[in-house]
Amino acid sequence: MSDAPQIRVAADGEPLRLMAVHAHPDDESSKGAATMAKYVAEGVQVLVVTATGGERGDILNPAMDTPENQATIPALRQAEMAKAREILGVQQVWLGYVDSGLPEGDPLPPLPEGCFALGDVEEESSALARIIRSFRPHVLLTYDEFGGYPHPDHIRTHEISMRGIEIAADPSAPASLGEPWQVLKVYYHQNFHRARAVALDAVMHDQGLESPYRERLASWPEDPAQAARLTTFIPAADYFEARDDALRAHATQVDPNAFWFAVPLALQRKAWPTEDFQLVESHVPSTLPEDDLFAGIPTRTVDKVDAWYYTI
């Protein structure tokens, strides 16, 4: 009898595959990173698709805000992404679009010509569909219709994710995109919600520590509609450290002394040990609430498979 670690695969013996579609480098580390690291450890093949290079992102870490870094942001963000994907154990590909930036002001200025959010939705969705058909994910993670927050690239990522899933499954779509593939389950990230903030705030208060959520909660009303979106709670506390390390790898974007790291990991694990999602599409039987993104998909266990590497 083999003493090799057992992992779960699809019933047909194929590896389980998870795709996460994100707008910018660093989004994969702030949304669902612990969940991805957990599934990687369990033998799941995880592919991050990054729509843009994050070229228009500001440097948000004061220690990195130098003229030299300002002049080399595109290259820096690619290097940061390489470090983060290594920490999480995921593979990653770029869709190749240009960051739209976050418009500010009243009235808002127009988006820059040639950016992702002004591109042709059908063309961008087809580019994603090609990757879906090639990778053949059982499960896909993306943003909700609000983008998680109203950044134009996040909203566009939602749009091309949902349309790309349709194109990938459509047998009448161009054969040049590859063989049709039906994603079995689709989820929206929902980790930034009030109940989690309340729990983290309470545990900080109980420990006599200053909570980074106190001021935010004062102007954050109860929202039953948002709470109703929470369907799936992935126990990922063992991978919160990997999530934080991946976040810190995006050094131009993440200040190591800022909000993200204000609650000690031990308290996070105690107060809210899951990452949370909304199941929005399923082609397999689903019983809510869930604690597994692959719930309902027939699986079996096998000896640990060899390492893999995805290429387009």
Return binding residues for Zn(2+).
24, 27, 154
Tokens 């050094």, residue located: 251
Return binding residues.
24, 27, 154
